[in-house]
Structure 1
Amino acid sequence: MTDPLANVQRLVDDWERDAEQKAARYESMRQEVERISLTRSAAGGAVSVTVGPNGIPSDVSMTEAVSRLRPEQIAAAVMEAMRQAQAAYPAELARIVGETVGDTASGQHIVATAERNFPQVEPDGPPTAPPRRPRRDDDGDFTDESYLG
């Protein structure tokens, strides 16, 4: 006959071990994310922008080739390089999440948030936002009818 107290203790021990393992995986993820550094260039390499954790720009560099560009071209190149670097951030984050915490609800949320914040850049165009699900906002009216008629 098994001891009920021993069964409860085993369940608590298993839960505690699982919690410690999850905490270690999330700590590993955090450390890896803090090391993210992505650099992209624009204007034929004349301008480079590096983004770090959270997709925040951490460095901008320019070569002598910027002397042949007009100020508005330099500004556009900085923005293009930054968008490209930021657009690469969700994929790098997804790789780290996959390697550390795996396919969990919280991991999916982290990656989805990055994808919303840093959409993919279309060649020669602005970033494109991922499709969003239609959302019904609560306007306080309890009917399904539009006020527009």
Structure 2
Amino acid sequence: MTDPLANVQRLVDDWERNAEEKAARYEAMRQEVERISITASAAGGAVSVTVGANGIPSAVTMTAAVSRLRPEQIAAAVMEAMGKAQAGYPAELARIVGETVGETPSGQHIVAVAERNFPQPEADAPPAPPRRRSGDDGDFTDESYLR
């Protein structure tokens, strides 16, 4: 006959061991996620953006080639490169989650949130030309020189 107290103790020990293993896997995931670094470029490599943990930009670099771009093209290139880098974040996060915590509901939720926050960029459509408001003199202000 088995001792009920021994069975309870074994169940508690198993639960504790599983909790410690799970905590270790999530800690490993956290450490790997903190090391994420994804860089993408735009405008023929003139602009690069690096995103890190949580898809937050950590660096923006530009080459001398940006001198041939208009300000609105530089801004568009920064946004394009950032979007490309962030679009790679969910896949990298999914890889890390798969290697550390596996196909758990919480792991799937973490990846789903990243996919929702950082969707794949739209197909490479040419950027729309900047639109001017009627009466816009192109000096980047809302003020008239007639005032």
- Shared fold per TM-score greater than 0.5: yes
**TM superposition shift of 1:122:** 2.3
Aligned to 1:43: 43
Q: Does 1:58 align with 2:54?
A: no
Aligned to 1:118: 118
Counterpart Cα distance in 2 of 1:120 and 1:22 = 31
* Equivalent residue number for residue 97 of structure 2: 97
Q: Deviations over 1:42-75 (max 9, x none)?
A: 0000000000000000000000111111111100
- The structural deviation recorded for 1:124 is 1.7
Secondary structure in structure 2 of the residue aligned to 1:15: helix
> Unpaired segments of 5 or more residues in structure 1?
127-149
Three-state SS of the structure 2 residue aligned to 1:116 is helix
Larger Rg: 2
Secondary structure of the corresponding residue to residue 120 of structure 1 = coil
How big is each residue's C-alpha offset from its partner over 1:66-111, in whole Å with a ceiling of 9 and x where there is no partner?
1111111100000000000000000000000000000000000000
Q: TM-score, normalised by structure 1?
A: 0.83
Match of 1:86 in 2: 86
Tell me the equivalent position of 1:131. none
User: Which contiguous aligned blocks of 4+ residues in structure 1 show a shift greater than 3 angstroms?
Assistant: none
The one-letter amino acid paired with 2:15 is W
Between the aligned residues of both structures, percent identity stands at 86
Mapped partners of 1:19, 1:10: distance in 2:
14
2:137 aligns to what?
Answer: none
Task: Tell me the equivalent position of 1:2.
Answer: 2
Q: d(CA) in 2 for partners of 1:80 and 1:101?
A: 32
- Equivalent residue letter for 1:92: E
- Cα RMSD (Å) of the superposition? 1.1
Q: For structure 2, which runs of at least 5 residues remain unmatched after alignment?
A: 127-147
Aligned-pair CA distance for 1:125: 4.4
